[in-house]
Amino acid sequence: MYRFKFLLLLCLFLGCAGCTSIPFKNIDYVALDNISPEQLRQEFKVSLAQKLAVINSIVFQYKWRNFSALGYTYLDLTNDTFQVSCMNPVGIKLFELTGNRNEITSNFVLRELLQRGDLPQAVGEDIRRIYFDLLPQTEAKTEKQKYKIIFIQPMGSGIMKYVFGGKDHLLIEKHYYEKKRNLWSVYYYKFQANKGSLYPSGLMLKHHRFGYNLIIRLKEVL
């Protein structure tokens, strides 16, 4: 109930628009017959940016409506720390948070957004879902299909599934399960190369339990 009330309140402060389709092209799948899972994992590990300072456009989808915002995100993936701030389309600052894998600190939150639910916890959890744990562990079980390589490993109180594919052999999906129920998924449609490193540049988080989507598009690498 608190999460539902928070979503409705957040919608009031973000720009509102009608529902639109996902603004990304479908993955161009190719056969992965000659690609070994460990080779794929290692190549992805080497290519990933470990420190990201980016500006993203954000579309929050709930029910039949879309709500837009602009966000700044800094991540140090080596130390699992992040800083994120967000403003609505008319320039009103909504929040600024810092955190790591274990805790989240509110540096600023618009007072009205604190009236319903725990904004820092909700945002921090989604940042972790999207940007943390992008690489499967070496001991993860693997399942090789013609067009996909899937890594499966324990994560917290559940199971994480990583799906790699496409012509560049990159991470394209991440799914988290508890008791065989898919609680949330992240779909990575695009990665952008900058100074020899890869940045997620087009992605969507689907929170199956609470019924909302976050669509994030990279605008600028700082």
Residue 7 lies in a domain: no
d(CA 178, CA 171) in angstroms, rounded, equals 21
Residue 144 confidence (pLDDT): 93
Would residue 180 count as lying in a domain? Answer: yes
Question: Within a domain: residue 83?
Answer: yes
Strand spans (E) along 63-180: 65-76, 81-87, 93-100, 104-109, 141-144, 148-155, 158-165, 170-178
Residue 29: what residue type?
Y
> Cβ(152)–Cβ(177) under 8 Å?
no
Q: How many domains does the chain have?
A: 1
Identify whether 216 is part of a domain. yes
pLDDT score at 128: 92
- CATH number reported for the structural domain that contains residue 34 in this entry: 2.50.20.10
> Does the residue 6 lie in any domain?
no
Single pTM value for the model: 0.88
Q: Confirm whether 155 is domain-assigned.
A: yes
Residue 171 lies in a domain: yes
Is 79 among the domain residues?
yes
Domain, as residue range, for 211: 13-19+28-221
Question: CB–CB of 177/159 below 8 Å?
Answer: yes
| DSSP conformation class of 113 | G
pLDDT tens-digit profile, the chain (222 residues): 445 445 545 554 555 555 555 677 788 889 998 889 999 999 999 999 999 999 999 888 877 777 788 999 999 999 999 999 988 888 888 889 999 999 998 888 887 766 655 667 788 899 999 999 999 999 999 999 999 999 999 998 999 999 999 999 999 999 999 998 999 999 999 999 998 899 999 999 998 887 788 899 999 998
**CB 186 within 8 Å of CB 98:** no
Question: What is the chain's alpha carbon radius of gyration, rounded to the nearest angstrom?
Answer: 17
